[in-house]
């Protein structure tokens, strides 16, 4: 049962679509106090677990650390971080007492989940304006399903978006994309999408194409589609401030950009230099920005990824001037350690500065709102602008759209990816742990940058990460400019890569039907073992395996130089290894097993009485046979 409790006069985030009348706040079942901060407190029993918070570091069980809901352009996804790109304010407490809590509040929230005091959760936020949703349920999954019901159905992308996708910050001219396409085909490597990072634009300006690099972009898009390849360009939040650039001119003339305290356009620096930030909380500005995607859809583009929309700010003019003032004070002077730290922090502190977030404002349909108070919904409303335009113009399920920043509610119009990770083995495991947490919050079309965005991937890391990516709805290999090339054909003999990618295409019909079921019936694609086996103490604590759909379990290898791993079976299962068209099967009993898994093998564990359909391998989804499938078992 879902109960809603209202504090003050909350900003409407549109996270919840089901109309629920608020109960009296005095009946809120947890300890609630309103003073300098709003504080929610409750005790934790020894064996209680805390699930949720979507995109976050550390484990599936979030107990024992402090997290923040504050959409953050954070590159280093290390254990000490408190916030990443999403603000997903939903938790489920699992123990003798089970309940869910959603704090619908668009600014910063601190979640102290047993860190300061191991037996207490303390949730803090600043303004006494929020909707609180308390959910009772028979089980953890029941609570999640009730929550998912009130926030609305999850976005479903086109079928081709379940194919393998290749990306790189550095593909800039037509020849780069043709080379990627042909290199995959020559090496029998499947591929459906190639991504276009910021280099395709004219001076990093949204909704432009560099005509020197792409003389006839529409014809090129058509040519790639003839080879069953979809081009997916990036769109950033900031619009370059440049007279004569139509997108900026229209936004400026209509007052569609965020303003400073004096009503002037707020100016900050991102990729193209000084930009205006579209005011996505203004419905007119949102419709206007959404319509701009037409420039590219008219050229045949049918998928996009929205980036830099936390919003990420490299600097503001005032922040840059403050840093220069501090540096000028020490120019020509001897600097001790404290002076060095002060000057260092003066420079580093200009990026994504809280002072800047406090200094600009939105016109939210006539209501002036400081950005700091609504920061967490900015990226969601940007992607909503695109998603609503696509649905109105093309209908549902016809365009691919996903975003870096997100808030609950954005799951109805887009997917997400997990941002700028690293080519670290530990990030394979972090990828796995995020999947059930974002599913709880409605984000089904999701995935990480396979192989890692930053640093340099090794051959074995790439193969092991792809073996996990076989199961994630978004299966994208992406890396940063200046890092080691990590396309599957860059590591010598491609056979192992072809074997793993073939498994993805064999499983796409099953994965797609599982995805549709999860969207239409408020289910999770990926579940912690604790959700399915709540009375099994070992299963409750296992965090490197996940339940997939209602049929099976996944347990990828995520350590360097390992050819085997321990796997816990909470019940008798069939151990399956898929590699190309080869299938290995072995019946295993409940308990621990040490299992050999080679680099070209994808492990899967199927429950008794369940089965999985397999397609024939294909080089793209257009050629994939979706009928006459064979049963795995």
pLDDT tens per residue, range 263-317:
999 999 999 999 999 999 999 999 999 999 999 999 999 999 999 999 999 998 8
Burial annotation 243-282 (CB, 10 A radius, 16+ → b, else e): eebebbeebbeeebbbbeeeeebbbbbbbbebbbbbbbbb
Per-residue pLDDT tens digits for 44-94: 999 999 999 999 999 999 999 999 999 999 999 999 999 999 999 999 999
Separation CA 408–CA 428 (nearest Å):
24
Homologous superfamily, domain 159-238+274-310+372-510: Glycosidases (3.20.20.80)
What share of the chain has pLDDT > 90, as a percent? Answer: 94
Per-residue pLDDT tens digits for 440-470: 999 999 999 999 999 999 999 999 999 999 9
- pLDDT reported for residue 339: 77
- pLDDT reported for residue 198: 97
- The DSSP annotation for 569-591 comes to ESS-EEEEEEETTEEEEEEE-SE
Tokens of 107: 């600014």
- pLDDT reported for residue 112: 98
- pLDDT reported for residue 311: 97
pLDDT value at 105 more than 90: yes
Separation CA 202–CA 215 (nearest Å):
12
Note whether 204 and 198 are within 8 A (CB): yes
pLDDT value at 260 more than 80: yes
Per-residue pLDDT tens digits for 586-599: 999 999 999 999 99
Note whether 88 and 441 are within 8 A (CB): yes
Separation CA 439–CA 462 (nearest Å):
24
Residue ranges of domains in the chain: 2-151, 159-238+274-310+372-510
Give the count of beta carbons closer than 10 Å to the beta carbon of residue 90: 26
* Torsion angle defined by CA atoms of residues 38, 43, 47 and 50, in that order, rounded to the nearest 10 degrees: -10
Quote the DSSP letter at residue 107: S
Q: What is the pTM of this model?
A: 0.97
Q: Please name the fold of domain 2-151.
A: Immunoglobulin-like (2.60.40)
pLDDT band per the 50, 70, 90 thresholds, residue 331: confident
If DSSP codes are grouped into helix, strand and coil, which group holds residue 527?
strand
Answer positive or negative: Cα dihedral of 404, 407, 413, 418.
Answer: positive
Averaged pLDDT of the chain: 96
If DSSP codes are grouped into helix, strand and coil, which group holds residue 112?
strand
Per-residue pLDDT tens digits for 129-145: 999 999 999 999 999 99
- pLDDT reported for residue 338: 82
- pLDDT reported for residue 440: 98
pLDDT value at 320 more than 90: no
């Amino acid at each position: 049962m879902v109960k809603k409790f209202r504090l003050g006069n909350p900003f409407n985030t549109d996270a919840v679509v089901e109309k629920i009348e608020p109960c009296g706040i005095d009946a809120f079942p947890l300890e609630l106090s309103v003073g300098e901060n709003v504080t929610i407190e409750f005790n934790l029993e020894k064996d209680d677990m805390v699930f949720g918070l979507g995109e976050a570091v550390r484990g599936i069980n979030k107990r024992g650390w402090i997290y923040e809901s504050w959409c953050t352009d954070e590159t280093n996804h290390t254990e000490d971080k408190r916030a990443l790109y999403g603000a997903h304010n939903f938790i489920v407490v699992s123990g003798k007492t089970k309940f869910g809590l959603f704090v619908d509040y668009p600014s910063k929230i601190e979640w102290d989940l047993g860190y300061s005091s191991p037996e207490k959760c303390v949730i803090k936020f600043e303004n006494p304006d929020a909707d609180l949703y308390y959910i009772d349920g028979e089980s953890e999954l029941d609570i999640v399903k009730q929550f998912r019901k009130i926030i609305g159905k999850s976005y479903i992308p086109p079928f081709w978006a379940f194919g393998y996708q290749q990306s790189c910050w550095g593909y800039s001219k037509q020849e780069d994309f043709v080379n990627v396409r042909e290199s995959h085909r020559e090496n029998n490597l499947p591929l459906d999408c190639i991504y276009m990072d910021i280099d395709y634009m004219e001076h990093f300006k949204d909704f432009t194409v560099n005509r020197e690099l792409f003389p006839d972009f529409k014809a090129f898009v058509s040519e790639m589609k003839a080879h069953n390849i979809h081009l997916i360009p990036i769109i950033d939040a900031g619009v370059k401030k440049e007279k004569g650039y139509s997108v900026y001119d229209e936004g400026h003339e209509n007052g569609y950009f965020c303003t400073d305290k004096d009503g002037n356009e707020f100016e900050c620096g991102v990729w193209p230099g000084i930009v205006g930030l579209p005011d996505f909380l203004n419905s007119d500005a949102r419709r206007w920005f959404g319509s701009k995607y037409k420039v590219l859809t008219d050229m045949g583009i049918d998928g996009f990824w929205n980036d830099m929309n936390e919003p990420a700010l490299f600097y503001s003019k005032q922040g840059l001037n403050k840093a220069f003032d501090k540096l000028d004070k020490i120019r020509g002077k001897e600097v001790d350690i404290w002076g060095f730290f002060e000057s260092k922090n003066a420079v580093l502190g200009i990026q994504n500065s809280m002072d800047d977030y406090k200094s600009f404002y939105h016109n939210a349909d006539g209501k002036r709102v400081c950005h700091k108070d609504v920061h967490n919904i900015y990226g969601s409303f940007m992607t909503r602008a695109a998603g609503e335009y696509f649905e109105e113009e093309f209908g549902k399920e016809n365009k691919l759209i996903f975003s870096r920043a997100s808030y609950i509610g954005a799951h109805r119009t887009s997917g997400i990816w997990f941002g700028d990770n690293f080519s670290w083995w530990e990030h394979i495991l972090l990828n796995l742990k995020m999947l059930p947490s974002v599913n709880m919050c409605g984000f089904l079309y999701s995935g990480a940058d396979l192989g890692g965005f930053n640093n340099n991937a090794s051959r074995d890391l790439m193969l092991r990460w792809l073996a996990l990516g076989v199961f994630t709805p978004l299966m994208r290999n992406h890396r940063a400019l200046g890092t080691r090339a990590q396309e599957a054909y860059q590591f010598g003999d491609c056979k192992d890569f072809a074997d793993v990618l073939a498994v993805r295409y064999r499983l796409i019909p099953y994965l797609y039907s599982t995805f549709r079921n999860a969207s239409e019936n408020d289910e999770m694609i990926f579940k912690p073992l604790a959700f399915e086996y709540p009375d099994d103490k070992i299963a409750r604590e296992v965090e490197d395996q996940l339940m997939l759909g209602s049929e099976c379990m996944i347990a990828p290898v995520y350590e360097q130089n390992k050819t085997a791993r321990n796997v816990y079976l909470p019940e008798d299962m069939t151990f399956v290894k898929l590699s190309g068209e080869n299938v290995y099967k072995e019946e295993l009993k409940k308990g621990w097993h040490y299992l050999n898994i080679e680099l070209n093998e994808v492990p899967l564990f199927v429950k008794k009485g369940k089965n999985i359909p397999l397609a024939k391998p294909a080089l793209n989804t257009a050629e994939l046979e979706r009928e006459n499938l064979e049963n795995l078992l």
